[in-house]
Structure 1
Amino acid sequence: MAFSYEVSFWEIRERKGRRKPFEVRWVVNGNGKSESFLKKGLAKGRLSELISAAGKGEPFDEETGLPRSELRTKLQKVTWYQHTRDFIEKRWDDTPGKSRKNFADALATITPALVTSEAGRPDARVLRRALYSWAYNKQQQIKEPVPREEWRQALDWIEKHSVSITELEDAQVLRKALDALGKKLDGKAAAGRTARRKRACLSDVLGMAAEAKYFSTAVNPLKSVTWTAPRTAEEVDPEAVANPRQVRRLLDAVREQSSRGRHLEAFFGCLYFAGMRPAEAIHLKVAQCTLPDEDCWGILVLRGGTVRPGRNWTDDGRAHEDRSLKWRAEEDSRPIPIPPALVRLLRAHISEHGVAPDGRLFRTSRGGLVQESGYGEVWAKAREKALAPEEAASPLARRPYDLRHAGISFWLSSNVDPAEVARRAGHSLNVLFRVYAKVLHQSQERANRRIDAALEEWGMEAS
């Protein structure tokens, strides 16, 4: 926001035929401003206020034309809660359902911490539900224009006690928001990844406030505060990574589970042999697959994923929505070479089960989208059958997603160039090195032993 002391005033102008005929006019650094009034006396009073402010040496805002003190008073009336509602309103239409849900989750965590008083605070769970399910959900507001009484009371309280948006320039107030996003509702530490996601939302909201000139500078105040996310285990745990022999046993145990298991064997195979995310496998269509007849490598061209934000967050009321590849542009794709083992799995799957009308390879018995609860149940039974008791009690392949970790770890341990591994996995190199640090370390140790053996073979001293 830019202020100037170059202010000049015009005489009040009467414009007959207008609803408010008396116009106050002034100029701030060459930018003309005006306000209209019903009566001349009101116009004279307003002109007197502006002249008085200029006489006191107050600078005027070039965009709004208001004296600094008046602008500050106006901005202070906008609360954090009101601004977050404006943020949701502005971003909703151009935001996918999953992101809408994440915005609501983050703001429902932060908003209760940014209040002027604790007096009369509603129950924490009621307040969160009112914010998450109604105040920050435009779809729910359409279905339910007036929130249920319990929610209305909670929202009336937060509207009354929310801090001014301008107070977010104060580092101490900002830290209240950061402390809140680092904790769960029960007070326990939130996962680091969750806290970072919520911080990104906070940054977006404050960025919009800076653009609206709610702060004394155009800089996002979050940039001036040092914050460390709660520690979390981002690195893949080697104990969770199944070896190829264990994966084979697990896939066999999946296939042996009636028709549903046979239908999901190739689904789980995609997670392992192609390093796919479950959302990418659910989205996979036959047109994206090149599957040669002979024992040759094939290729999958991934073009997106299917996620489940829930019916309350999508425009069409469907529980699922399609999205672009993670961290990729809308039309981007990711080709992945697949070994003959997966080619055979996919060809057998198509031969036995066919494909959905829209070309999807994997679907429920009724043709619907594969659900996490469904394939999770099959996977749990497969672990019980395929693994020894001590293995089943360990983190080994505990989640279907661990198949992706196992596949990527196998590529790395097979000395595939990390840059190519990152490309196939849809990661950046930085993420690959961070998430698979322990796996890479094991690969380096194996490489060192091979070098030692080669040096000894040539009669040179090994390390």
Structure 2
Amino acid sequence: MGHTFDVKIWAVRQRAGVRQKSAELRWRTGNVPPHSETFRTKTLADNRRAELLVALQRGEAFDEATGLPLSELRRLRDVSWYQHARNYIEMKWDRSSAGTRRTLAEAMATVTPVLVQDTKGMADPQAVRTALYGWAFNKRRWEEETPADVAAVLRWFERKSLPTSALADRMVVRRALDGLTRKLNSETAAASSIRRKRAIFHNALVFAVDADLLTDNPLQRVSWTLPEPVEEEVDPASVPSPDLAAQLLDAVGAQGPRGRRLVAFFGCMLYAAARPSEVIPLGRQGCRSLPRRGWGLIALQETRARSGSAWTDSGEAHDRRGLKKRSRKAVRLVPVPPELVALLRWHIDAYGYAPDGRLFRTIRGGLVQESGYGEVWARARAKVLPPELLHTSLAKRPYDLRHTAVSVWLASGVDPQTVAKRAGHSVAVLFRVYAKFINDSDEAANARISARLRQRG
């Protein structure tokens, strides 16, 4: 059964033959048997009939199964925004990565404190964030015993949360959008963060429409300007030259056993443009070809991004996923120069493979952690860079080695399609992120064009 505009409402009739006379209201919706309600007095029945007639005159559809106007049915089914947000998290949870789960919880924890009747009795911002982000919107913890202080905060939100139907009011929606622009300390959030949370809020409202809690998505009717996104372009000042990057790798290896285990790890970023999360799970099967001489080939297929054990299905700190924005079975084949082949062969000879086939692991055999390799990188940077450059963005993060790889490929004249394929980008993203490096190649391109034109003379 569905909705219908085919509605017939009969006059109220008195029912005889009962001890206390009553009035019956009957109406039909669509092709189903008539609906009826009985009242103690005819006046009450007439009032109810008038309500149904007003809905019909407004052009409102009726639900065939219940016989109720849709607006009335929504009010009966209405839930608080707090409960709807939890329902939304539950709906998204199983199909989301650990990182996405954190992002969803962050967005819901940001907007929910705004969608309340009043703030009287609300806990301090840090306690609210702990309760909402860490418990209310983390499905993995729903089966755990909630700490008493957290439970008290959540009970407050259960009482004070606005009904989801309140978001049909554009001013309420505007209030929510303004709330998305603020961080916990009331400072303005980064534009990228605001845009991400707004997209999630939009999706949660779509879910409310699907659940028949709202007639349409009210965001479409609110004039609200998103902050301009921060430019995604890589700053050339942060990208080390190939020579400087090689010096940094030497400084990593000079840090004893811990550092030597990470030279080839960083080398995969420098020579294959691999992301750190792609290098962590690289193993035996990923080393497709490592010849004694010449170029080799590695295959990247998995990422192990650290999301925290509270957000993964396995309870491990690192989430196992496919390549970024690719299907789980997608494989990225990257030809690697002799420099990286030599580093990988040395690493395999020195340390072999972990029982699960991984190349890179800590001295104790665990997964390489960002905090661990970040500390080694910081020491190498302090050793190689002159004091006046230590506080700049130059080679600030190991990730900058990936930018070095891509910039070298572009400067070498490799066509953008090949560069994008090896780096795991779309061509559009490559042009946007590495625009300055592509523009810097104009002089070399002009020289090649001039040389070709001179050949005609």
Is the counterpart of residue 136 in structure 1 residue 143 in structure 2?
A: no
What's the C-alpha RMSD, in Å, of the aligned pairs?
3.1
Question: How far did 1:210 drift?
Answer: 1.5
Question: How far did 1:322 drift?
Answer: 0.5
CA distance in 1, matches of 2:239, 2:288: 28
What does residue 100 of structure 1 align with?
A: 101
Identity %: 44
Question: How far did 1:293 drift?
Answer: 2.3
After TM superposition, list the pairs within 5 Å mapping 1:3-22 onto structure 2.
Answer: 3-7=4-8
CA distance in 1, matches of 2:370, 2:188: 26
Work out whether residues 282 and 369 of structure 1, in 8 Å CA contact, stay in contact via their aligned partners in 2.
yes
Question: How far did 1:297 drift?
Answer: 1.5
Distance 1:33 1:406, change over 3 A: farther
Question: How far did 1:263 drift?
Answer: 0.6
Distance 1:376 1:84, change over 3 A: same
Structure 2: which 5+ runs fail to align?
13-24
CA distance in 2, matches of 1:56, 1:441: 66
After TM superposition, list the pairs within 5 Å mapping 1:204-243 onto structure 2.
Answer: 204-217=203-216, 219=217, 221-222=219-220, 225-229=223-227, 231-243=229-241
Paired residue type of 2:88 = F
What does residue 323 of structure 1 align with?
A: 321
Question: How far did 1:221 drift?
Answer: 3.0
What does residue 177 of structure 1 align with?
A: 176
Work out whether residues 81 and 112 of structure 2, in 8 Å CA contact, stay in contact via their aligned partners in 1.
yes
Per-residue CA deviation, residues 6-61 of structure 1 (Å, 9 max, x unaligned), is 3478x9xxxxxxxxxxxx997533356979x9xx879x999988755444452443
Work out whether residues 311 and 320 of structure 1, in 8 Å CA contact, stay in contact via their aligned partners in 2.
yes
Distance 1:450 1:189, change over 3 A: farther
What does residue 336 of structure 2 align with?
A: 338
What does residue 75 of structure 2 align with?
A: 73
What does residue 369 of structure 1 align with?
A: 367
Which secondary structure does the structure 2 equivalent of 1:360 belong to? coil
Distance 1:48 1:334, change over 3 A: farther
Work out whether residues 25 and 32 of structure 1, in 8 Å CA contact, stay in contact via their aligned partners in 2.
no
Distance 1:294 1:57, change over 3 A: closer
Work out whether residues 362 and 369 of structure 1, in 8 Å CA contact, stay in contact via their aligned partners in 2.
yes
What does residue 246 of structure 1 align with?
A: 244
Paired residue type of 2:129 = R
After TM superposition, list the pairs within 5 Å mapping 1:240-389 onto structure 2.
Answer: 240-389=238-387
Distance 1:413 1:80, change over 3 A: same
Which secondary structure does the structure 1 equivalent of 2:234 belong to? coil
Per-residue CA deviation, residues 69-121 of structure 1 (Å, 9 max, x unaligned), is 4224325x422111001112222233232221111111111111222323333
Question: How far did 1:439 drift?
Answer: 1.5
CA distance in 2, matches of 1:47, 1:348: 88
After TM superposition, list the pairs within 5 Å mapping 1:20-59 onto structure 2.
Answer: 27-30=28-31, 52-56=50-54, 58=56, 59=60
The worse-fitting range, judged by mean Cα deviation, of 134-143 and 400-409 is 134-143
CA distance in 2, matches of 1:369, 1:319: 10
TM-score by length of 2: 0.87
Question: How far did 1:206 drift?
Answer: 1.4
Work out whether residues 7 and 60 of structure 1, in 8 Å CA contact, stay in contact via their aligned partners in 2.
no
Which secondary structure does the structure 2 equivalent of 1:381 belong to? helix
Work out whether residues 171 and 225 of structure 1, in 8 Å CA contact, stay in contact via their aligned partners in 2.
no
Question: How far did 1:394 drift?
Answer: 1.9
Work out whether residues 303 and 323 of structure 2, in 8 Å CA contact, stay in contact via their aligned partners in 1.
yes
Question: How far did 1:230 drift?
Answer: 5.2
What does residue 89 of structure 2 align with?
A: 88
What does residue 151 of structure 1 align with?
A: 150
Distance 1:33 1:117, change over 3 A: farther
Which secondary structure does the structure 2 equivalent of 1:301 belong to? strand
CA distance in 1, matches of 2:94, 2:153: 26
Work out whether residues 7 and 27 of structure 2, in 8 Å CA contact, stay in contact via their aligned partners in 1.
no
Paired residue type of 1:94 = R
CA distance in 2, matches of 1:336, 1:47: 76
What does residue 191 of structure 2 align with?
A: 192
Question: How far did 1:318 drift?
Answer: 1.5
Paired residue type of 2:244 = Q
What does residue 16 of structure 2 align with?
A: none
TM-score by length of 1: 0.86
What does residue 408 of structure 1 align with?
A: 406
